[in-house]
Structure 1
Amino acid sequence: MTTVATALRTATTKTGIAALPEVPDPRRTAPKDARALSKLFFEQLATLEEGTHEYQYARNTLIEMNMSLVRYAAGRFRSRGDDMEDIVQVGMIGLIKAIDRFELSREVEFTSFAIPYIVGEIKRFFRDTSWAVHVPRRLQEARVELARATEELRTRLGRAPMVAELAALMNLSEEEVIEARLASNGYHSTSLDAAVNNDSEEGEAALMNFIGVEDPGMELVEDFHALAPLIADLDERDRQIIHLRFVEELTQSQIGERLGCSQMHVSRLLSRTLKRLREGMLAAD
């Protein structure tokens, strides 16, 4: 394994950088050695011109030497059940951001500076991609706060806390607490084809068989589809009366004034037309 002493004794010849040591396998550098070498590389990185081959060598070596930080931070999220390789890849983005923004003048260890960037990037990944249903950022954050408050009150009270108690602890209204609870349902989803236990002799059945409801809107669509040709067969006056009564929502008296006839005559015409349409609908059924 590469040590600091070995690296410092070996000047690079492949890149032509005399001031920087060659690190044969940066990814296998021990964490203790990586800290010492990183300081040296950051010192040189600050003096090199961005975009040059030397600059890229220093930056890439820093990234590879500090990959152990990403694996360490990613290990905190092992229980989430996600692919660890995906988490590590996301954490690498945080590491690169930390390297690009780190300055030795901060007088802080790079490890202490980088870990928050790496963890923050991983948390952002979970926040933006793990929700089965899109939920506003405000409610996502309220869900986390609600979980903490619930656990704190459950420990303190020895029972499940009430909405009013949660609202008082979180400095929110009861409506906002309820909204945060509802938002939590968007974190996980279940397929409508998922099998659920059924007490009947049929055994298991699909979830969709238990949550489906009749949509009255679908029946209206069918009715409109059947009614359209019937209305098209009406004469111009009858179609106009139907339009004035049910689209413009005029009274029979107003329709009579518009057409120049009595309200009684409009009533007879309307009744006759509706009867014709009703019979046509029943015949279609």
Structure 2
Amino acid sequence: MPVNCSSPRQRAEREAATQELLRARVVAVDNDERQQLLEKVVELNLEVARGIARRFRGRGAEDDDLEQVACLGLMKAATNYRPETGVPFIGYAVPTIRGEVKRYFRDCSWTVRIPRRLQELQGRIARVLPLLVQELGREPTPMEIADRLGVDCSEVREADAARGCFNVLSLDRPVGAGDGDLLLADTVADDEDPHLSRIDTIDQLGPLISALAPRDQRILELAFVENWRQADIGADLGISQMQVSRLLTRILAGLRQRLEPIDIAA
């Protein structure tokens, strides 16, 4: 069973093997056996956790720490997952692992506890500060920063007073030699890259599509891989264009419903 899955078929095989191990764990009565099955699930899906950790690199945390947190998230997902819900394991594990990594950045990397709003404001200040310096030709005052961000000056002063509480790399740190005035903040996106979410969705869709009826799989392939018109799909299947439209609506609605985050933790 491949653990580094690069094709929909391999991902479907990994999902099937994972489900088999988890079902066996449900009925196992020996604690040692249950633990061994859990470890096999984690080992089988380890690359999923590592892949998520890689997507959060370059944001100030050590790579090893990110991978460890992601693996703990995978262990949590494998422990709490319930096969009887019908939700694919990958569909439960990915948001669980990603949530653990985000919580690590939000909670675990601060040596002194400060309000989350100040954590977020520090990031906003770090992003806008180079622009203001360039525009003004000098360091901006707290009032000028506050005006640009649309916040009270007192909040800017409060956030500035809390600087240094973050125990990883500062957003004000230069990226490196040869990069001019480029700061770490300039290289970190304001929001999570939407392409990363797309990759996660594709990973989750594999087992769902494999479980569809052959005709439904054929319709999806012709519509979204071959880019056929609905009329041509209908001619190929011997049905009308209207029937194809209704079938596509039903298939996509079912996939969306299965992809919605569902809390199946114990």
Q: Aligning the two structures, in what range does the TM-score lie when normalised by the shorter sequence?
A: 0.3 to 0.5
TM-score by length of 1: 0.44
Higher Cα Rg, which structure: 1
TM-score by length of 2: 0.47
